[in-house]
Amino acid sequence: MALEQPVLTKRIPTEPWGRHEDRHYVDYNEYVKTGGYQALDKALQMDRTAVIDEIKAAEIRGRGGAGFPAGMKWSFLPPVDGGRRFLAINADESEPATFKDRLLIDYDPHQVVEGIAICMYACQLDTAYFYMRGEYHDQRAILERAFKEAYDNGIFGPNSRLGQINGRNPDLFLHRGAGAYVCGEETGLLNSLEGKRGWPRIKPPFPAVAGAFARPTIVNNVETLACVPHVMENGPDWFKTLGKGRPEGAPPHVPASFGTKLIGVSGPVVRPDVYEEHLGVKMSYCIEELAGGMLPGMEFKAAIPGGISMGVLTKDEYDAPLDFDIGKPYGILGLGTACITVIPEGYSMISCARNLARFYARESCGQCTPCREGTEWLYKILTRIEAGDGTTKDLDLLLEVASSMGIMPGTTICGLSDGANWAVRTIVNKFWDEFEAAVKKNRFVSLSVANNNN
């Protein structure tokens, strides 16, 4: 069932409700005129714990990739002790093929700002840092403008309608990263915020207990916070009518897929863009109906459903539903950011795996040996196979190296190498024939490649 009314893209014209050519920056006045900041006013009338209970009841799961319930994260905060408490907004969005948060920042930043204000009120956080990746240059001016409008209209600053929090005026600042994927990991982000290299920290302590500057900190994704005003305005029951819901027959404590999701489609499709749909929408629907199908002359071969770390879906899995339970039945890591990259027929999966492995080799922060050495090793093996120099043994080695790094085998601090692990392993396993054919090829090929390059 297709989504009837846009939620997050209410003010951002998006097919099928509008044309993306009509998109424009929604300023404070326009935002208020279209019902904005009412959710904040409603929240301010309520008790702080009641606001957290609403978010908990709506079961919003984090939209940044991990899918951790936001309300639960908020309730992990220790009791107020008079010291400072922080909010860090994760807009690092460096996962290849992911570009959904940019849509919210570009056109409707006040929606996010409202979510930030509600979160700060409910969790009693006095300062929010909007951590945005350094490569988003245009978005810097947009956010600075939106933040200024928010200050001028009494959302933050000395005249804030949130009142004083922890004895301070609530503040929202932009903090720009400088080009490091690992800073999207929440503790890496906190280290980067503290002016250090973006090395992820060992957990526990979790950020809610000791995060930025060793004080309680909430780290939330942009899209997660953008969902918050809608829940406050329409109530958790309304939110739960959206999305696929709980898996059939599952008890109520099993995390479910409620709400809508921004879905980016990229690759050789007619209309690559960000769309909004129910969680649980079929991938085929996103590619064919929303993005207009494949470009003429192109045929679908495979797709990476949610940022490259999640793994790959084949032609047989074309109808996979994009919800938080996608992982197990389809043998991938999870939903991730739900931004689909379509891989066309004719593009080698070995090149694809090599591209992904290079990404992790380049972005590994170098803290844990299995990741620092392993990602580079995977890249070397895949480059070798691509050049025609691979052996059958290389495939075994590849799988062994891949499966021994990450949080799940328990050898690294953060999940970066889990991404490398799953991306490479699912591609090799699901396209085994292609890899096998490549390693069995005549080995003179590589010499001719080498000669051509010289």
Partner 1 sequence: MAWITKNSAGAHIERQSEPYLNDEMKQELTPVVDRYPRRQAASLPLLHAMQEKVGWLPPQAIEEIADFLEVPASEVMDTASFYEEFWLKPKGKYVIWLCQSISCEIMGEPSLTDRVAEFLDIQVGETTPDGKFTLMKVECLGYCGDAPCGLINEDIQQKITPDNFIEVLKNLD
Interface residues toward partner 1, by CB under 8 A: 84, 93-99, 102, 127, 133-138, 171, 173, 175-181, 192-198, 213, 215, 264-268, 272-274, 304, 308, 339, 341-344, 347, 351-352, 355-356, 358-359, 361-367, 372
Measured CA to CA in angstroms, residue 219 lies from 64, 103, 128, 339 at distances of 10, 20, 10, 21
Distance CA 244, CA 278 (A): 7
Nearer to partner 1 by C-beta: 276 or 325?
Answer: 276
Nearer to partner 1 by C-beta: 42 or 84?
Answer: 84
Burial of 224 (0-12, 13-18, 19+ CB in 10 A): buried
Nearer to partner 1 by C-beta: 219 or 242?
Answer: 219
Nearer to partner 1 by C-beta: 20 or 161?
Answer: 20
Nearer to partner 1 by C-beta: 214 or 254?
Answer: 214
Minimal distance, residue 183 CB to partner 1, in Å: 9
Q: Work out whether the CA dihedral 321, 308, 24, 27 comes out positive or negative.
A: positive
Count CB neighbours of 251 within 10 A: 6
SS3 of 303, please? strand
Nearer to partner 1 by C-beta: 180 or 232?
Answer: 180
Minimal distance, residue 237 CB to partner 1, in Å: 34
Nearer to partner 1 by C-beta: 133 or 230?
Answer: 133
Question: Which helix (H) or strand (E) segment is 174 a member of?
Answer: strand 171-176
CA diameter of the chain: 74
Contact 6, 276 (CB under 8 A): yes
Minimal distance, residue 51 CB to partner 1, in Å: 26
SS3 of 386, please? helix
Contact 116, 158 (CB under 8 A): no
Nearer to partner 1 by C-beta: 72 or 210?
Answer: 210
Q: Beta strand 260-266 with 273-278: parallel, antiparallel or unpaired? A: antiparallel
Minimal distance, residue 53 CB to partner 1, in Å: 30
What is the identity of the amino acid at 283?
M
What is the identity of the amino acid at 95?
E
- Report the interhelical angle of 222-239 vs 48-58 (nearest 10°): 80
Peptide bond into 205 cis (omega under 30): yes
Q: Beta strand 171-176 with 300-304: parallel, antiparallel or unpaired? A: unpaired
Minimal distance, residue 339 CB to partner 1, in Å: 7
Minimal distance, residue 43 CB to partner 1, in Å: 25
Nearer to partner 1 by C-beta: 177 or 229?
Answer: 177
Minimal distance, residue 247 CB to partner 1, in Å: 30
Structure-derived torsion over alpha carbons of residues 403, 407, 411, 412, reported in degrees to the nearest 10: 120
Minimal distance, residue 347 CB to partner 1, in Å: 6
Distance CA 365, CA 271 (A): 35
Distance CA 325, CA 341 (A): 19
Q: How many CA atoms lie within 13 A of 298 on its CB side?
A: 18
Nearer to partner 1 by C-beta: 113 or 352?
Answer: 352
Minimal distance, residue 101 CB to partner 1, in Å: 8
Contact 417, 332 (CB under 8 A): no
Minimal distance, residue 327 CB to partner 1, in Å: 20
What is the identity of the amino acid at 272?
P
